[in-house]
Amino acid sequence: MNYYKISLLNSPIGSYTYHFDKNIDIGCKVSVKLQNRETFGVIIESCEKPDFETSEVLEVLDEYYSSNQLELAKFISSYYICSLGDALGIMVAFEDDEIKNISSDTKSYENIELSQKQEAALEFLKKHTVSLLFGDTGSGKTEIYMKYFEDILSQNKRCIFLMPEISLTPQMDERLKKHFGDEVVMYHSKLTPKNKKIALEKIRNGEAKIIAGPRSALFLPIKDLGLIVVDEEHDDSYKSSSRPRYNARDISIYMGQLYNVPVVLGSATPSLTSYVKFPHVRLKGGHFSSEREFIYERSAESLSPMILNELKSILDAKKQAIVFIPTRANFKYLVCNDCGHSYECAFCSIGLSVHNKSNALKCHYCNYTQAIPQKCSECGSTTLVSSRLGTAEAVKSLNEEFTDANIEQFDRDVITSNTKLKKALKRFRDKESDILVGTQMLSKGHDYHGVTLAVVLGMDNLLNMPDYRSREKALSSLLQIAGRSGRKEVAKVLVQSFNEEFFKNYLDSYESFLDEEKIYREGLYPPYKKLSRLLFSHKNGAKARESMEEVLDSLRDYNGIEIVGFGKCAIEKIANKYRFEILLRSDKSTDLIKAISRCKNDLCEVDMDPIEFG
């Protein structure tokens, strides 16, 4: 009889020991029984017969995890302090009957003409194992990526092309497929089960040479990997908000070392971390010779007369505009104007967002929903008001103001599938719609060639967030939104903000901002310090607090780590669970990992390199 240590997929607990009468290779996927239910696991190692009774492996499947996948999973488990089963759970296994070698047939592609600057940038990227392509919006980063892909494919290797989930644009899909044809596969969560199965089959059998997708594309069964490109590397969506809380940009860099392949990070507004840590090549200017005029309005977030006048001018001239608002839905909160009572989620300590279209108040954290009240539940007043303008309310107001215009909402509430995204962009491209009103989705990777006005609201809300990256995030958002306008002719960017001086100083020189930001961060925040956030949640608030205090007491015994703060989370309750946190800082991640691994308890969830502090 053979005995094996098995990690259960997507399980937060450690490995279990099972037996089987035949030999099973390390990395094989198996089905086993745990507490009378069948589940899947991965053979991690063979072991001696234990001194307790073991269960038998039910079935050895025709799937396996490669040695590199196992090594990567061990790194994720160690660095992000989660179980090996959690780390393996985000990966897609290889199949035993897949084609072992990629076809060596070389295809000819339509020639991509690079400028001298682009050629020099490409040569720079090829000379470094990890490098940053710091290129303005429209400067031709995609053409450089594609030329690099050609080179890798000619070596009979494959490429991973990561993009933020929100920016898996039809335009990028079209450009890649027009050039590389069936050798490109887009793999993401919005694919139908049938299309996902077809895409996975092409990836497994080697037909797919360029695999494009969000962070999950890193964990697909890809042989002969030759290059990883992380586009919009600054984007927060590369960080997973659930266990394991990995950052796909950082995992890409580790994979580059593990697979011995180059990694290219690309952005018009790179993160300070990448700018400091990796060699970069600067690509200024764009393909478009038009100019942008920035206009600032000192005003709180609202559709002011100035904004309405500018929009009217655009509509009269038969041009198009985009309106950026940080919040979706109608408003963030509903408040009684007489007694001040606000409507919070029954399960989370957060205000409910107003959704007029469905006549509902919704929680954006746990999806709790209730009907919009007609009068205050505390004092009976009918004067219920809201603050913080949202996309749906803006669309409603603009439709009332411009009755002949076609105004569309462009956010996650409306764009719920890839098909809806394609249709909305096609309508805008064909000038069937005049104004797009949206959130961050507006700024990510889309080409709006007819836009001559970009209205940017809520910049001060981003700038004043309790986050050490608030300046970086606000400036990056403004530049990304502004970069969507003026592609073909002169455009205006109307920014509603009381912080004109801050934005004006850096709009033409993002690297000047990064160089200055280094001074503020040094000795306090990444990339000069490592942070970790420990989260404790339980339906019983006293238990959550007790759990936090237990870990807190243990952490005080460790040198080399600093307890920055602890207590209730900013949002104290989510999904009926009370939440507490500890924020730690250290010079070295190894000191944090060592201390946390020894001190954590069952209620403690670890977020290494956190980007969310709200």
Binding residues for Zn(2+), as ranges, are 336, 339, 345, 348, 363, 366, 376, 379
Question: CA-to-CA distance for 511 and 425, rounded, in angstroms?
Answer: 32
Please tell me the number of Cα atoms within 13 Å of 146 on its side-chain side.
Answer: 22
* Residue 612 and residue 587 in contact, taking contact as beta carbons nearer than 8 Å: no
| Element (DSSP H or E) covering residue 293 | strand 292-297
Q: What is the DSSP string of 469-504?
A: THHHHHHHHHHHHHTTS-SSS-EEEEEE-S-HHHHH
Question: CA-to-CA distance for 398 and 419, rounded, in angstroms?
Answer: 25
| Element (DSSP H or E) covering residue 574 | strand 561-574
- The dihedrals phi and psi of 145, each to the nearest 5 degrees, come to -55, -50
Q: Which amino acid is at 305?
A: P
Neighbour count for residue 95 (Cβ, 10 Å):
17
- The dihedrals phi and psi of 133, each to the nearest 5 degrees, come to -95, 100
Which residues are CB-contacts of 579 (< 8 A; sequence separation ≥ 6)?
535, 536, 537, 544, 568, 569, 571, 572, 573
* Residue 297 and residue 307 in contact, taking contact as beta carbons nearer than 8 Å: yes
Question: CA-to-CA distance for 146 and 138, rounded, in angstroms?
Answer: 15
Question: CA-to-CA distance for 530 and 594, rounded, in angstroms?
Answer: 13
Question: CA-to-CA distance for 242 and 235, rounded, in angstroms?
Answer: 17
Residue recorded with tokens 């109608």: 330
Ramachandran assignment for 582, one of left (phi > 0), alpha (psi -120 to 50 degrees), beta (any other):
beta
Strand extents, DSSP E, 65-155:
94-95, 130-135
Binding-site positions = 336, 339, 345, 348, 363, 366, 376, 379
Query: 357 by DSSP, 3-state: which?
Result: helix
